[in-house]
Amino acid sequence: MSGRVILTAAEMRAAEEKAISAGTPVQELMERAGRAAAEAIWRHAGPLPALVLCGPGNNGGDGYVVARELAARGVKVRVAAAAEPKSEAARQARAGYAGPVDTLAEAAPAPLLVDALFGTGLGRPLDEALSERLRALAQAAAVCAAIDLPSGAATDDGSLLSPVPDFDLIVTFQTLNPSHLLQPAARHMGRIVIADIGIPATSALAEIAPPRLFAPGPDAHKYSRGLVTVIAGAMPGASALAAAGAARAGAGSVRLQARELVPDVPAALIQNGAGPLDRLDDKRIGALLLGPGLAADGYGRDLFEAALATPHRLVLDAGALHLLAESGLEAIAGRAETPILTPHDGEFKTLFGEGEGGKVAGARAAAARTGAIVVHKGPDTVVAAPDGRAAIAPPSPTWLASAGTGDVLAGVIAAMRASGLDAFEAAQAGVWLHGRAAALAGPFLIADDLVAHLPAALGECLELRAVNESHFHSS
């Protein structure tokens, strides 16, 4: 289910070294990268006069190849260097560019700015004067492109080492980097193009891709499609949203169990009024969701303890996460079925503390510590498994920052889990469908709009099994 591979700076260096040791010279990789970047920039910006900013390393070497290739296409190109090339490959690339090279301080702006100053692996802030010069030249340009990453963005955790201008195009090579998807760096990047330059790359980190879902077969019934039970707390409206999300996400049956009947919910939801703990021993339950609308009071603790006493596949959200922090993470240790935790940033810190190393590292550590799938929600949602696998969601609409949308996400994940997907796949599928439903709902959405657009999002992922249509044919 995972999509495009994501490599850290260290992983990319290792992949490059492997390609070089296998017989591809670094100069050839630089040529491939520069030509591919020039092609992408040409397709995006056309023949705009260009200023290419080159740093002293191999990112700068890529920039010299870009300048040469754009000039060969008839583009009026100027190069400004932050320093002389340091590597032999970069020096050869500089020698292959026939035009003049200015200093960065004396370079005049151009309609197209290409940032090839530092790219991946930057470990410290830019010099203040250099950072300000980059900002001024970017502000004066009509189109801004960067090679690998905007200079000033860290590679692995989405942090900004220096202020970063907004870029219209990012050209990266072979794989994504974490900061292409992690905030705050990602907000400064527009279209991202991944160019294949022949570097074999594998990683335990990937971008979340659309899930592969199948239409029910002719022998399907409501329980085979997945029974989701949602336990409502003291504020049942949030649980009603979660239950509606589960139903619209394809669950065959959804039970909303509360102290009293909840009004204004879809008629398809099962409510029997017998109480939130009714029929928790039903072996047909495919996923048990607890947390939306759950208060950290005596009643909430009773529901929490009852849910954890079952053997069911658990999805714990919102109030259940606060109760988990209160009771201790060992409360979910050793379960036969891997639980799924869905904390937003505040809940994550309550459970696991501030952490170190960025969002991916933090989610991985949390998953390993709990034995659970951790969905660290936010504008850059990360899903992590106890075995070290992790995935980052593609950017989702900022309109999701509204009340109730997380409750819907919990319901969608529960539906995916009840359908038979393993916990890591179910969490990824839920995150992708949630983001896609938000895109379909459009600006100024509310949580109810997400529920309404889930069927369309699911439909985009549906793979129909082959059907024998011979009986429809007339003789």
Last residue of a domain, one of 160, 185, 203: 203
Helix (H, G, I), strand (E, B) or coil at 207: strand
Do residues 198 and 217 both lie within one domain? Answer: no
- Measured between alpha carbons, how far is residue 189 from residues 65, 76, 236, 417 in Å? 22, 25, 40, 33
pLDDT value, residue 261: 87
Do residues 288 and 312 both lie within one domain? Answer: yes
The sign of the CA dihedral 99, 102, 107, 113 is: positive
pLDDT value, residue 357: 85
Do residues 345 and 429 both lie within one domain? Answer: yes
HSE-CB for 43 with a 13 A CA cutoff: 12
Does 198 map to a domain? Answer: yes
DSSP structure class, residue 74: T
Q: What is the CATH number of the domain that holds 412?
A: 3.40.1190.20
- Residue linked to tokens 């959405």: 445
Last residue of a domain, one of 169, 203, 237: 203
In a 10 Å sphere around its CB, with 0-12 CB exposed, 13-18 middle and 19+ buried, how is residue 51 labelled?
A: buried
Q: 319: closest CA among 362, 276, 354?
A: 276
Dist. CA 31–CA 151, nearest whole Å: 21
Tokens of 111: 């309609």
Question: Helical H runs in 73-178?
Answer: 88-95, 128-140
Is residue 398 within 8 A of residue 426, CB to CB? The reply is no
- Residue linked to tokens 């049942």: 236
Last residue of a domain, one of 203, 221, 236: 203
Does 432 map to a domain? Answer: yes
Do residues 276 and 225 both lie within one domain? Answer: yes
- Measured between alpha carbons, how far is residue 173 from residues 17, 119, 209, 279 in Å? 14, 11, 19, 54
Tokens of 155: 């590679």
Does 74 map to a domain? Answer: yes
Does 85 map to a domain? Answer: yes
Is residue 311 within 8 A of residue 334, CB to CB? The reply is no
Does 469 map to a domain? Answer: no
Residue 257: strand pairing partners:
231
Does 473 map to a domain? Answer: no
Does 468 map to a domain? Answer: no
Strands (E), 138-196: 143-147, 167-173, 189-195
Residue 453 backbone dihedrals phi, psi, to 5 degrees: -100, 0
pTM metric for this prediction: 0.93
Do residues 190 and 217 both lie within one domain? Answer: no
Is residue 279 within 8 A of residue 307, CB to CB? The reply is no
In a 10 Å sphere around its CB, with 0-12 CB exposed, 13-18 middle and 19+ buried, how is residue 128 labelled?
A: exposed
**Alpha carbon 396 to chain centroid distance?**
8
Q: What is the CATH number of the domain that holds 72?
A: 3.40.50.10260
pLDDT value, residue 473: 44
- 462-463 and 213-214 strand pairing: parallel
Do residues 303 and 418 both lie within one domain? Answer: yes
pLDDT value, residue 434: 98
Do residues 141 and 284 both lie within one domain? Answer: no
Do residues 220 and 139 both lie within one domain? Answer: no
pLDDT value, residue 467: 43
| Ranges in the chain, pLDDT < 70 | 1-2, 464-475
pLDDT value, residue 464: 57
Dist. CA 239–CA 231, nearest whole Å: 7
Q: 280: closest CA among 322, 317, 228?
A: 228
- Measured between alpha carbons, how far is residue 87 from residues 24, 101, 104, 145, 408 in Å? 17, 17, 19, 23, 52
159-163: which pairs have CB atoms within 8 A and are 24 or more residues apart? 159/184, 159/185, 159/358, 160/184, 160/185, 161/122, 161/123, 161/124, 161/125, 161/126, 162/125, 162/126, 162/131, 163/131, 163/135
Does 453 map to a domain? Answer: yes
- Measured between alpha carbons, how far is residue 294 from residues 91, 235, 299, 441 in Å? 63, 7, 9, 27
The range of the structural domain enclosing residue 374 comes to: 213-463
* The total number of structural domains that make up the chain: 2
Residue 53: strand pairing partners:
80, 115
DSSP structure class, residue 47: S
Residue 173 backbone dihedrals phi, psi, to 5 degrees: -125, 125
Do residues 113 and 198 both lie within one domain? Answer: yes
pLDDT value, residue 472: 45
Do residues 235 and 186 both lie within one domain? Answer: no
Do residues 419 and 449 both lie within one domain? Answer: yes
Do residues 227 and 314 both lie within one domain? Answer: yes
Residue 143 backbone dihedrals phi, psi, to 5 degrees: -135, 135
Dist. CA 29–CA 9, nearest whole Å: 16
Helix (H, G, I), strand (E, B) or coil at 276: coil
